[in-house]
Structure 1
């Protein structure tokens, strides 16, 4: 005698219990089904036939009893092995067709083969052949709403046959069809039975059931009749049928098969894109949070980096090898130290010092005609352009002869030129009054910009040191001294050499103060970096809001597509396949949102650049923001995806 493909012993199924009433739907079913059989399970609504079909198709588990498939106890199979059975051994034909609305006829038919790991070329060819065989060759690209009921049912039959469909479970396959379509579908089932498929027909229609070779009647959860006497139990099964031993071998070998993850991933991406496009307005609103979040992070960091680079460039333009020397009071009530000409001569001889320049200056009133302006007037020598790397844009700088003769000449900054001599085409040779003393303009310095937030280097007037001492301030002691270190990489060593020399000259009295541009630049860089991080952190909050939006839409999507999840599980999808499907959709949302956010950031950055605002995009920041968007999609999409993967197949299929 052949081993039955399906053997049920005392199968019982109950729902409820605890706080709700317990309802026993199946109350002890004993049933054996052999290879090649065509049987009908008939009964009125509520008799338990649909519940029995779900248990037969491994969509549901019995409360009690033993279910053996090809001699294997199904109770000992894990979720992946049950998914393998649904994918390889069973093919479902539902009364409501249960096609995925967003997929074409071809894509619906191919779905079981995707989860089986069939190559794309092979499954395309098989799906096309099945649709052609069922008279749907011209409808492969149509979606379910573009097909009649009979055509949709034929698509579901083709899907049931995609992986072989050795056991066809047809639940009221003609219930939603007109008589002509119903006749065509039954003819197809007759043909499949003659080809060796096990066909299990679930129906309440006696006329439809009469097409089967074996009729089982079920009432109140019990089998009350079984025309089993007409069936071949003695080994004379349909020679075309796949025998139990063959399926048992395939189950042992194939239950560990992981499928083709590439094919599943491509299907997941395509499905995700279709869902996003179909609900594009809702998707756009959801993406808004991610788009704004990514764009904010990128723009904020770019503005912060641009500001930092601008300030660094402006400070660096004055020389990163510059050391400033000031007199200071060694104690609160002590007199401020004085840097003498003897000190300057000693410092100029140090090997670490390249140039040295005293500056005698102060804020002063500058006038031209009836225009007044306050600027910094600094007396210095001819080392000024070299030390500060500050060329003259118009005219020339004053000479050593001007310095020796205390000549009343001036080189004005760009801002002074704009404030006082804007309407003068050629300022060279014109006279300005500095504290009511006339000075002839011999040059205009090139525009330099601000060296810090509250000062503007271009708002200055450079005059000979001797002229400043004699004509304006009445003292030859410098306000401060500018020292250019010989090596920009050894500014600290030069500063230490200057300090040792001055301590020796001033009898170990610390009545001076040294600062250098390198330290100022580093301090400013740290400040700007902290500001950039703060701006980026504030902007990152938008990404969090965007992530919550992703979770919201994914939860809504799971609720809306619960039946689709049930269909995918019925065709062999494992829990991790469903998890991958919905997690892919969450990541797709984040990818699209991230790319749109980067595009928006570049547009905003371009607009800011046109507005003369310093912006510096860094690829690390761009990729970092995009990466954060991806992580957001994974983190906030995982919970809805896991919820989808854990849905009960039967509950999902029967959801509205």
Structure 2
């Protein structure tokens, strides 16, 4: 028998437990319980329903806290322990065997047994080996991968006992372990408990059955929240040497570790959580798919909408670029102070061309003039421009060539045709190069045809014009013109157009002594269009983000439902040593896993939709940054909207969670 030469492993003094209070009536369930339990004892606490025996078990197993009184474990005052320290004590010292087995339905027998070791930080290989050995000792070697619903009641209870032993099971707390079993299975379970007691485990048996209680070494009877009897059955089971060993092994648990416990290593816990979460998602795959749908649509929408916006924006840039995004247009004007209009000379333009902010300068004179070729007479816009025109307008020559700077300087009578002008003057001629036109009264030789370009908004049709050298035009066609109709200036970059404009104004103000010019630029028009496109893109992105937000709310609703459905599982995990952090991280990672999967599918769907849009010739430009951003937003959505359900799960009362249906 166990002697009294050693201090108690568990010592209760004046333990009271009350429920209610506030706006609810207060009920006291335990009334000043005093109880000592020594290392290696096999003790039965017996009482009728409502006597307080289950409440006492919850207090002994650190699932609940007393309202008052003292609970010392191995000499340490348990009332000073925080929730994580209590979790450590449950994990390291206690093993629970419940009447309802309390196995996690989605896990196999082996995985259920492994649960306490997960929170103890054992490696996967160690867990599997130990769980396999325990189940083998209990006759379940062939049931390792069976889930609880594939096991009989007696088999489930043996799995529960194996789980209680996983971390050593120094103290076995068995709550009505035979209550849900037939007589044969019940006898087998009691035999197992006697064997465990004989092997040195402290066994605390909670039961209402006096015949079951009589099989223990010591019987404590509780009635109406008070201990009314404490009888020790004299069984010569231990020698003094054995008892000393048991006391040393069980009462010397390093309680200080509870305050330093870091629990499961992060990556190991993450791997196990992802495995469990993936299984839950697969079991509830229809519900999971519906939850994922919101995230998938949100992520795909963000990617596609912004890709369309960026593609359209780039299309505008390209279109405007072909018309000159860095172009400015210089005209003379009447000063605001009055007087004659300004006069822009060739010397002015030479000085403007020397400015570092200016890349090219092109004076232009143009008007509609009668053009003849044989029996064809047409009024066509004739533009006298410089040799830089193709470079400024990014306009390609389709046939022949454009005139050179030397030809411009020498007043060469050459002409280049716009595509439409060529088709109207030479409808049946495949190559007009070498033909002559009479422009006004001066003959000009055709040296090239420009590529088809189209019309710029608010301007002439480029294709329906012909171009002659600027100096030849002034000398041969526009003799009355004293200055250009306008001058096109090309800035060195789009970002510096405003600086270039200011530099030109300052130069001409210095040269003319007054403000008698005006400057317009295509960059301002492009900027306005791009700002409009950006606004539309932001609106499209906002709409897509709203759908992502809706998906996040769906995740939160499903996780709240999951917490309600798995409340008992949460209680089981807490009873086996899970800390608040473990429960919080488990449900938070589950929520994030949903959004990670949804985000991945959303990115793939967005790429597929984008590929189809490209096939249909809709301008689309994918951005890797947008895809990463959309995916990250999905994950962050899971983190944000999964936090509240996860926190709710982590703050559940273990006793309440275990008693849920």
Uncovered stretches (5+) of structure 1, i.e. residues with no partner: 367-372
Task: State which drifts further: 646-655 or 321-330.
Answer: 321-330
Q: Which of 114, 131, 134 is equivalent to 2:135?
A: 131
- 1:501-580 to structure 2, matched below 5 A, reads 501-503=507-509, 507-515=512-520, 528-580=533-585
2:417 alignment partner in structure 1: 410
Structure 1 residues 16 and 511 mapped into 2: Cα distance closer, same or farther (>3 Å)?
same
After TM superposition, give the deviation of residue 532 of structure 1 in Å: 3.7
1:370 alignment partner in structure 2: none
Structure 1 residues 374 and 292 mapped into 2: Cα distance closer, same or farther (>3 Å)?
farther
1:302 is aligned to 2:307: yes
Q: Which of 48, 52, 57 is equivalent to 2:61?
A: 57
After TM superposition, give the deviation of residue 336 of structure 1 in Å: 5.5
Task: State which drifts further: 323-332 or 61-70.
Answer: 323-332
2:643 alignment partner in structure 1: 638
Cα distance in 2 for partners of 1:101, 1:422 equals 87
1:270 is aligned to 2:297: no
Task: State which drifts further: 422-431 or 59-68.
Answer: 422-431
- 1:380-529 to structure 2, matched below 5 A, reads 380-397=385-402, 400=407, 404=411, 410-412=417-419, 426=430, 428=432, 443-446=448-451, 461-464=465-468, 477-484=483-490, 498-503=504-509, 507-515=512-520, 528-529=533-534
Cα distance in 1 for partners of 2:543, 2:426 equals 43
- 1:10-21 to structure 2, matched below 5 A, reads 10-21=14-25
Task: State which drifts further: 89-98 or 467-476.
Answer: 467-476
Cα deviation, 1:442-479, whole Å, max 9, x if unaligned, reads 7543355787x777986553432667998799867533
Task: State which drifts further: 5-14 or 633-642.
Answer: 5-14
Cα RMSD after superposing both structures: 4.1
Q: Which of 610, 614, 617 is equivalent to 1:612?
A: 617
After TM superposition, give the deviation of residue 197 of structure 1 in Å: 0.7
Q: Is the 8 A contact 1:314 1:448 kept in 2?
A: no
Cα distance in 1 for partners of 2:481, 2:179 equals 111
Q: Is the 8 A contact 1:579 1:642 kept in 2?
A: yes
- 1:111-150 to structure 2, matched below 5 A, reads 111-150=115-154
After TM superposition, give the deviation of residue 562 of structure 1 in Å: 0.7
Structure 1 residues 490 and 289 mapped into 2: Cα distance closer, same or farther (>3 Å)?
closer
- 1:50-199 to structure 2, matched below 5 A, reads 50-199=54-203
Cα deviation, 1:519-576, whole Å, max 9, x if unaligned, reads 6666665555455444433432222222222221111111111111100000001111
Q: Tell me the secondary structure at the aligned position of residue 226 of structure 1.
A: strand
Q: Is the 8 A contact 2:402 2:416 kept in 1?
A: no
Q: Is the 8 A contact 1:196 1:242 kept in 2?
A: yes
Cα distance in 1 for partners of 2:208, 2:550 equals 52
Q: Tell me the secondary structure at the aligned position of residue 250 of structure 1.
A: coil
Q: Is the 8 A contact 1:412 1:441 kept in 2?
A: no
Structure 1 residues 552 and 353 mapped into 2: Cα distance closer, same or farther (>3 Å)?
closer
After TM superposition, give the deviation of residue 381 of structure 1 in Å: 4.0
Cα deviation, 1:606-627, whole Å, max 9, x if unaligned, reads 2222222222222222222222
Cα distance in 2 for partners of 1:364, 1:22 equals 106
Structure 1 residues 454 and 613 mapped into 2: Cα distance closer, same or farther (>3 Å)?
farther
Q: Which of 268, 284, 290 is equivalent to 1:279?
A: 284
Task: State which drifts further: 106-115 or 274-283.
Answer: 274-283
Q: Is the 8 A contact 2:312 2:620 kept in 1?
A: yes
Q: Is the 8 A contact 1:3 1:245 kept in 2?
A: no
After TM superposition, give the deviation of residue 125 of structure 1 in Å: 1.3
1:369 alignment partner in structure 2: none
Q: Is the 8 A contact 1:196 1:241 kept in 2?
A: no
Cα distance in 2 for partners of 1:159, 1:195 equals 17
Structure 1 residues 494 and 53 mapped into 2: Cα distance closer, same or farther (>3 Å)?
closer
Uncovered stretches (5+) of structure 2, i.e. residues with no partner: 372-377
1:28 is aligned to 2:71: no
1:591 alignment partner in structure 2: 596
1:328 alignment partner in structure 2: 333
Q: Is the 8 A contact 1:293 1:540 kept in 2?
A: yes
Cα deviation, 1:333-376, whole Å, max 9, x if unaligned, reads 8775454556556656779866532223469999xxxxxx9998
Task: State which drifts further: 538-547 or 232-241.
Answer: 232-241
Q: Is the 8 A contact 2:302 2:544 kept in 1?
A: yes
After TM superposition, give the deviation of residue 654 of structure 1 in Å: 0.2
Task: State which drifts further: 571-580 or 259-268.
Answer: 259-268
Q: Which of 202, 212, 218 is equivalent to 1:208?
A: 212
Cα distance in 1 for partners of 2:182, 2:426 equals 92
Q: Is the 8 A contact 1:35 1:241 kept in 2?
A: no
Q: Which of 638, 643, 652 is equivalent to 1:647?
A: 652
Structure 1 residues 556 and 275 mapped into 2: Cα distance closer, same or farther (>3 Å)?
same
1:44 is aligned to 2:48: yes
Cα distance in 1 for partners of 2:427, 2:187 equals 98
Cα distance in 1 for partners of 2:166, 2:544 equals 50
Q: Is the 8 A contact 1:91 1:169 kept in 2?
A: yes
Cα distance in 1 for partners of 2:41, 2:369 equals 110
Q: Tell me the secondary structure at the aligned position of residue 593 of structure 1.
A: helix
2:231 alignment partner in structure 1: 227
Q: Is the 8 A contact 1:41 1:201 kept in 2?
A: yes
Q: Tell me the secondary structure at the aligned position of residue 242 of structure 1.
A: helix
Cα distance in 1 for partners of 2:88, 2:210 equals 33
1:625 is aligned to 2:630: yes
Cα deviation, 1:374-419, whole Å, max 9, x if unaligned, reads 9987443443223333221245446849995767762226xx89x9
Q: Is the 8 A contact 1:112 1:159 kept in 2?
A: yes
After TM superposition, give the deviation of residue 157 of structure 1 in Å: 0.9
Q: Tell me the secondary structure at the aligned position of residue 154 of structure 1.
A: helix
After TM superposition, give the deviation of residue 89 of structure 1 in Å: 0.6
Q: Tell me the secondary structure at the aligned position of residue 227 of structure 1.
A: strand
Cα distance in 2 for partners of 1:60, 1:613 equals 64
Structure 1 residues 454 and 630 mapped into 2: Cα distance closer, same or farther (>3 Å)?
farther
Give the TM-score, by structure 2 length: 0.85
Cα distance in 2 for partners of 1:519, 1:3 equals 90
